[in-house]
């Protein structure tokens, strides 16, 4: 990781601390992205080379498969005390064994049953290991931090440091994070707010910068980099809040890493305003103890958009079998569509063939059943806003 840390220092700190620096111009940003992608390529090669060496050492021609599970195969909510037990140490060691050479972890991979074998894949998905999707890497980072607090075993501290290095390296020059790093192409390379990717990583760098959550073991230079990472991430959130007709709204589920414009992902996920993801971002911003004026304004504007675009008098639930639809209910709480068209604020619904409709009933039955087209998540913002505004004297 020496190359990685050197690259990080050059990219993020070319003239010293940069938290108050002006955003880079387009040429410098483009040059930094080229360097960033080269780093990604080198880290990917590092992962491949270690696996090739393992296969040769074990006399194997093919990688042994990892075991699939819906989450990670263990309970990530266990307390620090759990990792003082024999079972806790076993889980921590098993999780540690699945850390990639580049420093991250996979998703949907059983890390609770048995340690990874020599020559066994680090994850069940061939193309997206490691990743930040579905809580991967952020979940395991916190396991390593808890295990170190419980045992003082340096292996766990070093694993957490390596994971944080990857998080810092994965941050785009524009301040956002891709879904997976090293980069693997397509929509996975976009700045990702979906599945709490960005908010999970911002919570890590914030805690690292402040020595929260027992992270005092992190080296001082790394904590300084985390502090800078937090500031750049917050600046990115302010800059990427979608403005239409001169009015700030919310965010998309994914954004272009250079232009910061909302971007489409899978065929049924158009470039649109995304309510659940935006609510998660606002809830994170509301946690900040000393938000800047720009962040306060972003919160106020997002709250205003949520308040204006709520759907009243309906609930979204199964009407028969696994088929969901909007049903009239005068006592139901507010709902929001998952996606809203940029500019018109009309709910939109995407299908597998890339078609986008204003009427959910035009979707294929498979897509109606297979996606969360409505959400209650922004209601949390509405409920907390009055207290937040009073706390900050607004």
Instruction: Measure the CA–CA gap between 220 and 225, rounded to whole angstroms.
Output: 9
From the candidates 134, 184, 194, 225, which is the catalytic residue?
134
| Residue of 71, 224, 266, 315 marked active site | 266
Told to judge if 134 belongs to the known catalytic residues of this protein, a careful annotator would answer yes
CA 313 from chain centre, in angstroms, equals: 33
Catalytic positions, please? 134, 266
């Amino acid at each position: 990781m020496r190359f990685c840390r050197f690259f990080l220092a050059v990219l993020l700190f070319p003239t010293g601390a940069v938290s108050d620096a002006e955003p880079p111009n387009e040429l410098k940003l483009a040059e930094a992205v080229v360097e960033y992608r080269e780093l990604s390529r080198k880290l990917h090669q590092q992962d491949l080379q270690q696996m090739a060496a393992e296969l040769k050492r074990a006399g194997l021609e093919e990688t042994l498969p990892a075991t699939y599970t819906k989450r990670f195969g263990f309970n990530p909510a266990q307390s620090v005390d759990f990792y003082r037990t024999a079972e806790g140490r076993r889980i921590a060691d098993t999780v540690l064994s699945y850390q990639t050479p580049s420093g991250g972890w996979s998703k949907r991979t059983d890390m609770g049953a048995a340690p990874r074998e020599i020559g066994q894949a680090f994850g069940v998905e061939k193309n997206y290991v490691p990743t930040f999707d579905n809580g991967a890497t952020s979940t395991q980072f916190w396991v390593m931090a808890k295990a170190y607090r419980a045992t003082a075993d340096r292996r766990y501290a070093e694993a957490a440091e390596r994971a944080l290095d990857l998080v810092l390296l994965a941050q785009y020059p524009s301040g956002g994070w891709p879904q997976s790093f090293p980069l693997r192409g397509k929509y996975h390379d976009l700045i990702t707010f979906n599945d709490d990717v960005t908010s999970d990583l911002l919570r890590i760098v914030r805690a690292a910068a402040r020595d929260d959550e027992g992270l005092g073991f992190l080296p001082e230079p790394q904590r300084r980099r985390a502090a800078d990472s937090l500031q750049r991430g917050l600046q990115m959130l302010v800059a990427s809040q979608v403005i239409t007709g001169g009015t700030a709204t919310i965010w998309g589920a994914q954004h272009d890493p250079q232009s910061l414009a909302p971007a489409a992902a899978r065929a049924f996920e158009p470039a649109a305003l995304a309510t659940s993801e935006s609510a998660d971002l606002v809830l994170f911003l509301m946690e900040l103890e000393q938000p800047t004026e720009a962040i306060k304004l972003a919160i106020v504007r997002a709250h205003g958009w949520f308040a204006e675009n709520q759907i009243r008098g309906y609930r979204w639930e199964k009407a028969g079998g696994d088929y969901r639809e909007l049903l009239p209910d005068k006592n139901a709480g507010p709902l929001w569509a998952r996606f809203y068209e940029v500019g018109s604020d009309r709910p939109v619904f995407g299908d597998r063939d890339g078609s986008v409709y204003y009427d959910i009933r035009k979707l294929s039955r498979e897509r109606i059943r297979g996606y969360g087209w409505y959400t209650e998540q922004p209601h949390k913002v509405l409920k907390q806003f009055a207290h937040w505004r009073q706390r900050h004297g607004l």
